[in-house]
Amino acid sequence: MWFKAIWWSCYQRYGGSAKDLQRYLGLGSYQTAWAWMQKLRRAMTAADMLPLTGTVEIGEGLLGGSRISTLTHDSIKEAKVVCAAEINDMKAQKEGRIKMRHVPEFTEEFLVPFVKENISKGACLIVREQQGYEGLDKEGYEVKIKQGKARASSVAEAQIELLQQWLLQTHRGAVTCKHLQHYIDEFCFRHNWRYKSVEEVIYRVLVGTTKRSAVPYWKLVGRPSPGRPLRDKG
């Protein structure tokens, strides 16, 4: 059953929802299908850990609002996402691999750790403004500010738009902020491996399953311990 689930998930170019997996496997419980999808997303994350290199553009954007109200269960609030995209061809603005993170704020406290954890030192970072990325030039990065017409277009910000479309089309917008990062990681994995064969993608996911310890259901949903409900703070 697990091999069938992995094959199905990798064969779907844009992925699928837990409801889709439940129908494919004939599972009687949506809860089981949801848990399996969450575990597969964690395997994808573990299989896609190589940092970005070369020239990397960084952009920020918002998800949610009235377009994906279920992200926060509030149509007014929005989820902040930062994206880093390798630029393989500066003239054509052709992107390579990407990394994204859901952050509380677009400030140095959250943006600098994102860069250091996802981009190799020595990379050339292209940002809209220095604010939020202070000190990275002393950490081994070359930081460049976008100038002129280039400021109007951003490969990284375009990827955030594509993420929002994917959440709407594949998952019907039914994603909460609590689990948003795992969906973001799946989106990045599928983008980064989009030109590989299904066999290669399956292999990478299988490798990812061996790199992480098993996660029980109570941890998947964020309970403090197996016997405590979600809202129990004790």
pTM value?
0.88
Inside any domain, residue 65: yes
Residue type (1 letter), 78 = E
Number of domains in the chain: 1
What the block records as the tokens of 152 is 């109007």
Inside any domain, residue 154: yes
Q: What's the CA gap between 204 and 200, in Å, rounded? A: 6
Residue 98 pLDDT level (bands cut at 50, 70, 90): very high
pLDDT the model gives residue 99: 97
pLDDT the model gives residue 91: 55
Q: What's the CA gap between 29 and 31, in Å, rounded? A: 5
Inside any domain, residue 155: yes
Residue 176 pLDDT level (bands cut at 50, 70, 90): confident
CATH value at residue 132: 3.30.420
Inside any domain, residue 171: no
Inside any domain, residue 222: no
Inside any domain, residue 193: no
Range of the domain at 101: 55-160
pLDDT at 147 over 80: no
pLDDT, tens digit, for every residue of 156-171?
999 999 999 999 999 8
Closest C-alpha among 211, 209, 190, 210 to residue 201: 190
pLDDT, tens digit, for every residue of 189-205?
999 999 999 999 999 99
pLDDT, tens digit, for every residue of 26-40?
999 999 999 999 999
Evaluate whether 53 touches 120 at the Cβ level (below 8 Å): yes
Lowest model confidence (mean pLDDT) among 105-119, 177-191, 208-222 = 208-222
pLDDT the model gives residue 234: 43
Inside any domain, residue 103: yes
pLDDT the model gives residue 196: 92
Inside any domain, residue 11: no
| Residue whose structure tokens are 């709407």 | 168
pLDDT, tens digit, for every residue of 73-95?
333 368 999 999 999 865 555 67
